[in-house]
Amino acid sequence: MTQSAAVRNNVHPPGAVDSKQSRRSLRASTIGQLLEWYEWSSYAVFAPFIAVAMFDKSNPASAL
């Protein structure tokens, strides 16, 4: 089969990903990335409050 015949027959090369699969992967990775940023931002905002509530200031090892 020549290259032009493969194009006419809409034959994809081995390992090719269709556009539906690409969109699904992009959507999943975007949602995952947004969740990671939300988690990191929440921790960054509340870290000072967590430190005061959870760690003893009189103990030098935990007061870091």
**Residue 56: pLDDT band with limits 50, 70, 90:** confident
pLDDT at 40: 97
Q: Is 37 inside any structural domain?
A: yes
Q: Tokens 């967590």 sit at which residue?
A: 50
Residue 40: count other Cβ atoms within 10 Å of its Cβ: 10
Q: Is 60 inside any structural domain?
A: yes
pLDDT at 8: 64
**What are the start-end ranges of the H helices in 1-64?**
3-8, 19-54
Q: Is 3 inside any structural domain?
A: no
Separation of alpha carbons 17 and 5, rounded Å: 20
pLDDT at 5: 57
Q: Is 5 inside any structural domain?
A: no
Asked whether the beta carbons of 55 and 48 are under 8 A apart, the reply is no
If one counts the domains in the chain, the total is 1
pLDDT at 24: 94
61 Cα distance to chain centroid:
34
Express each pLDDT in 3-44 by its tens digit. 565 556 666 677 777 888 899 999 999 999 999 999 999 999
Q: Is 7 inside any structural domain?
A: no
